[in-house]
Structure 1
Amino acid sequence: MLVTSTRFLGFLSLLICGWLVLYWQGVVAMEEIWRRSDTFAHGYFILPISLWLIYRDRAFLKSAVAAPTAIALLPLFGSCFIWLFAYAADINVLLQLATVFSLISILWMCLGHQLTWRYKFPLAYLLFAVPMGENLIPLLQDVTAWITVFLLKVHGIPVFRDGLYIQIPNGLFEVAVACSGIRYLIASMAVGTLFAYLSYSSFKKQIIFIVFSFVLPIIANGIRAYLIVIIAHYSDMKYATGADHLVYGWIFFGFVIMLMFWVGGKFVDSEANKATFTSNEAGKHFNSKVLPTGLIAGLFLIGTWSIQHNLPVIQAPEEPQIDIAGLKNVESSNWGINFEQPVRKAHVKLEQGEEIFYAKYGNKQNSGELVNHANKLYNHDAWTVVERVTFELESRKVRFLLLRNTAGRERGVIYWYKVGDLTFVNSAFTKLYQAFSLLSGQADVAEVFAFSTEQFDGAEPIEKLKSIARTGQLQLEAIR
């Protein structure tokens, strides 16, 4: 079956339209991140680059023969399942990865093994469209701080490091998120991987250059941070301490990219060997596997779409705050607990000043979720955990936290999450079970319970909190 035949192109277009309808949310979510984030703005160019890489081989494509394969239904089914789970759990990066993997699986199914292998790089390159990698930011910040301090010591400048803060005689510097180098790293990887594919025929050389394009921007970013400190030091903090250091950063990054290409150009192959194989003449007629394979793929897509649209989605109200009879709502607190966009929420005080917090969420909401980076059990900037204990309290698994601030004051917290009939103290397990409960129909809502005090009255903090939790739980039963 020729890939240029009207019948094949119509068959492929129909499946891609079905993919687009089902995975529209993942596509829109990726585009939204490309639009608002400079780190992932390159995502707009990934699909055009992949299409261009295939178009370069148009002379072969005109006579290429597709041999659709049913084996690709397995990764397609897996992608549909992962997409459903990610949708239920609100794990955006997993949802977007499943979106791209499912497209690759559909193309593999339609083109067959040989053509898919020939165009493996353009297809795999589509993964760069997924906005991922921000989880590396804390590690990159730490590496940047380490390199900066090391070079300052070599330079002979007195330096003291406290976490991400770097102190020199002239001033204090922080390795902020913007200084982590994540933008340089992701851009370098996307460009370096493409350069390796276009310049080298040896897989070994390609891998070496891709690793080089990963390591170089990390080291270069540490050097950049060191140079910024040096400029600020010798200019008596007049330069490189404001927005100008970001400009220096992009200029420096441009130099690093040029250096990467210059080094890579020293080893470019004179002519990359192109994959060649003889087309299967028997496949020029409409393959008997096409219709049943396409039908099964279509059923996967329709079934996934149907399940998704039948999942219960709860509408979060604008004002979820609720009152508990006889208890005073907390107007100000140094605890810092924060859960955004719940269905119901209460934050009240007992007679002795102990605080009770409760929030209820749908396992799937139109906006907001129980486990989210914005939701915090305490103010991380004001408090440090000095003790953490997990134990059973009235058949519930709960966790005690002893917090301490810079002034030496202590605050105790007991908390747990509840999904259906099960309780959890680990947020990741809570999120996973929320998705499982939603997909299996076991539960539609989840809750968080937290109790805190600074007044221990001479008792052990953990024992005091146990008593508060028992009393507070009785108060909450009336409003749940």
Structure 2
Amino acid sequence: MSVVEPRIKSPDELRETPPSSGRETGNRPALTFGAVLLVWCAILLSFRGHVALVLQAWETLPSHSHGYVVLLVVAYLLWTKRPQLQEVSCRPSWKGFAFLNLLGFAALLGDMVSVAGVVQFSVVFMLFGAVWAVAGDRAARLCMGPLSFMLFAVPFGHEILPTLMNWTADATVVALRESGVPVYQEGRNFVIPSGRWSVVEACGGIRYLLTSIFIGAVFAYLTYTRPLKRVLFMVWAVIMPLFANWIRAYVIVMVAHLTGNEWGLGLSHLALGWLIFGVAIFASFAVGTRWRDPVPVSPPMAPGERATLGRIASAALVAALMPYGWQLASAGLEVRGSAAAPALALASLSGLERAEGPTDKVQPVYPGARMTYQATYLFKGEPIDVFVAYYRNQAQGAELISVLNKIEPTGDWSWSVSANAERAGPTLPPTRLEGYSRNGKHAALHHLYWVGGSTTTSDLGSKLLQVWSRLRGQGDDAAFVALTAYSAESVEQASRRVQDFAATHLERLLGDLDRAAQDGQGGQ
């Protein structure tokens, strides 16, 4: 009888060995990712209100109309990862569950201060967290790149629109003067011999900027593998649309000027803009392709222990219930303050003479406010408009910071200046100046946010103050305060009138708001 010596198998033979009975079968990865899809549906369903807001933004905001394209890009990139995902040994990860819980807490904070963007970004990261928690670390690493493009589905970026408009106006004026065209500029409005121009929201270039960043990110991901190259191209994707928009504005004005306003307006205005942007995009791609990195060859994955179907199902069930748990926690922390509308008597202004306000004035609209106070007073013989929008028990659509709130909703006034105003006094809070002009009349509107006894001019600052007020148990009372004066001379002259009024009455006006908040807390 001969003895058969055991033979050591090669790595290739080991890789081809079928899994033992304690391991996953060949089709199990497909079942695992099917479970991940069900968790995704649970996440989107639990945050369906915020998902609806995102879809509404895709339909109504031209700067975010590429949202549906984002979904197609993500689906395509995930499909290209399919061969690698089929080799993954799926095992639920406790780190993924911890990540999901962290995102749930972030969504709770976003709901607490009614910041839809925080909740929406949390939901996007939750989609990645679901892959990590249910399918494991390896699957999460493979899906991280494609799923990161879901961030572009969230409508964000409109906060920088005033800055972009200012830059466009300044760059256009500088280029016109260098071309020998005499220009008189007043904020975002300027006059040249052939006519008057104004940089409106559509001219700010935010649509070019957001589209360029998204397209540039996709191009960098598909073309380069080195992080430095991707970062450099993304920096260019931010800088390029800014310069392209400035060139677009300059070319349109010059074409209209040189043709006696026969060209550069109407359809030709839009055609020139997209032509310049398209040339800039394709030129960027043509240059960027020259430094393309070779496609890396992915080494075969080492086999690993795979979780049983029961463990995968249990992990998917827990991951699907997590967002609902945080939703219940958010509902439990809702403000239970006084249901009564605040009393805004503004007693500190009772000694001033009321006046009939002008019919053509800047009239803010804050539809979600619990109480709105607006009146015109005579101060040193000149009218001053006082507007206060007071919020209590804030919720989505009825909050201090919202796209529904408009300082000048009609569009009849040309927006000329947006800047931080000088303090009216050393002890007074800073205000933000918005300047407008219409038919030779100038308006200066100074505004600030009052939140739980503190003031700020920042949208982000107001939200942070709201969180702090909620954590201290002080409720979420907040207000938007606006003071407006008019002048036939300039925005600066109107602004000085507001500052004179603020130096005398602003501090006491804010005291009226403090008392309104205290009265509301006393009624709880």
TM-score class, shorter-chain normalisation, is 0.7 to 0.9
Determine whether 1:145 maps to 2:185: no
1:362 is matched with 392
TM-score (norm. length: structure 2)? 0.72
Q: 8 Å contact 1:418–1:424 — kept in the other structure?
A: yes
Determine whether 1:300 maps to 2:330: no
Q: 8 Å contact 1:65–1:283 — kept in the other structure?
A: yes
Greater shift after overlay, 305-314 or 111-120?
305-314
For residues 507 and 145 of structure 2, what CA distance do their matches in structure 1 show?
Answer: 61
2:15 is matched with none
For residues 28 and 56 of structure 1, what CA distance do their matches in structure 2 show?
Answer: 29
For residues 425 and 39 of structure 1, what CA distance do their matches in structure 2 show?
Answer: 28
Percent sequence identity is: 25
Cα displacement (A) at 1:43: 0.8
Evaluate the alpha carbon distance shift between residue 61 and residue 403 of structure 1 in structure 2; reply closer, same or farther with a 3 A threshold.
Answer: closer
For residues 414 and 225 of structure 1, what CA distance do their matches in structure 2 show?
Answer: 30
Determine whether 1:97 maps to 2:121: yes
CA RMSD, Structure 1 to Structure 2 (Å): 4.7
The C-alpha deviation readout for 1:151-189, integer Å capped at 9, x for no partner, is: 334433334444323433322322322122221221122
The C-alpha deviation readout for 1:230-268, integer Å capped at 9, x for no partner, is: 211110122213453122211222222222222223333
Greater shift after overlay, 115-124 or 468-477?
468-477
The C-alpha deviation readout for 1:182-211, integer Å capped at 9, x for no partner, is: 212211221122122222333333333222
Q: 8 Å contact 2:357–2:385 — kept in the other structure?
A: no
The aligned amino acid for 1:345 is T
1:320-399 matches, cutoff 5 A: 332=357, 336=362, 338=364, 340-341=366-367, 342-347=369-374, 359-365=389-395, 367-372=397-402, 374=405, 387-389=422-424
Cα displacement (A) at 1:224: 1.5
For residues 376 and 206 of structure 1, what CA distance do their matches in structure 2 show?
Answer: 40
Greater shift after overlay, 366-375 or 173-182?
366-375
Evaluate the alpha carbon distance shift between residue 82 and residue 411 of structure 1 in structure 2; reply closer, same or farther with a 3 A threshold.
Answer: same
The aligned amino acid for 1:417 is W
The aligned amino acid for 1:301 is P
For residues 277 and 249 of structure 2, what CA distance do their matches in structure 1 show?
Answer: 12
Determine whether 1:424 maps to 2:455: yes
Determine whether 1:273 maps to 2:296: yes
Equivalent of 2:475 in 443, 462, 468: 443
Greater shift after overlay, 345-354 or 195-204?
345-354
1:116 is matched with 140
Q: 8 Å contact 2:454–2:465 — kept in the other structure?
A: no
Cα displacement (A) at 1:124: 0.9
Cα displacement (A) at 1:144: 2.9
Q: 8 Å contact 1:22–1:305 — kept in the other structure?
A: yes
The C-alpha deviation readout for 1:429-470, integer Å capped at 9, x for no partner, is: 44333345457754254456788999xxxxx85674279759
Evaluate the alpha carbon distance shift between residue 37 and residue 398 of structure 1 in structure 2; reply closer, same or farther with a 3 A threshold.
Answer: closer
Greater shift after overlay, 142-151 or 223-232?
142-151
Q: 8 Å contact 1:451–1:465 — kept in the other structure?
A: no
Structure 1: state its 5+ residue gaps. Answer: 455-459
Q: 8 Å contact 1:316–1:366 — kept in the other structure?
A: no
Q: 8 Å contact 2:449–2:462 — kept in the other structure?
A: no
The aligned amino acid for 2:327 is W
The C-alpha deviation readout for 1:203-235, integer Å capped at 9, x for no partner, is: 333333222222222222222122112211110
Q: 8 Å contact 2:424–2:503 — kept in the other structure?
A: no
Q: How many residues align?
A: 467
The aligned amino acid for 1:361 is Y
The aligned amino acid for 2:423 is R
3-state SS of paired residue (1:345) = strand
Q: 8 Å contact 2:372–2:388 — kept in the other structure?
A: yes
For residues 187 and 166 of structure 1, what CA distance do their matches in structure 2 show?
Answer: 28
Cα displacement (A) at 1:42: 0.8
Determine whether 1:169 maps to 2:193: yes
2:306 is matched with 283
1:457-476 matches, cutoff 5 A: 464-465=504-505, 469=509
Q: 8 Å contact 2:374–2:388 — kept in the other structure?
A: yes
Cα displacement (A) at 1:408: 11
Equivalent of 1:127 in 129, 151, 161: 151
Q: 8 Å contact 1:144–1:175 — kept in the other structure?
A: yes
2:493 is matched with none
The C-alpha deviation readout for 1:63-114, integer Å capped at 9, x for no partner, is: 3222322112333223222222222322222222122112122222223222
Evaluate the alpha carbon distance shift between residue 349 and residue 186 of structure 1 in structure 2; reply closer, same or farther with a 3 A threshold.
Answer: closer
Evaluate the alpha carbon distance shift between residue 108 and residue 21 of structure 1 in structure 2; reply closer, same or farther with a 3 A threshold.
Answer: same
3-state SS of paired residue (1:369) = coil
1:61-72 matches, cutoff 5 A: 61-72=85-96
The C-alpha deviation readout for 1:32-78, integer Å capped at 9, x for no partner, is: 10111221111111122112112123233333222322112333223
For residues 180 and 442 of structure 2, what CA distance do their matches in structure 1 show?
Answer: 39
Greater shift after overlay, 36-45 or 50-59?
50-59
3-state SS of paired residue (2:95) = coil
Q: 8 Å contact 1:313–1:366 — kept in the other structure?
A: no
Q: 8 Å contact 2:32–2:135 — kept in the other structure?
A: no
Evaluate the alpha carbon distance shift between residue 125 and residue 450 of structure 1 in structure 2; reply closer, same or farther with a 3 A threshold.
Answer: closer
1:434 is matched with 466
3-state SS of paired residue (1:268) = coil
Cα displacement (A) at 1:299: 5.3
1:457 is matched with none
Equivalent of 2:208 in 184, 207, 226: 184
For residues 35 and 403 of structure 1, what CA distance do their matches in structure 2 show?
Answer: 29
For residues 414 and 228 of structure 1, what CA distance do their matches in structure 2 show?
Answer: 34
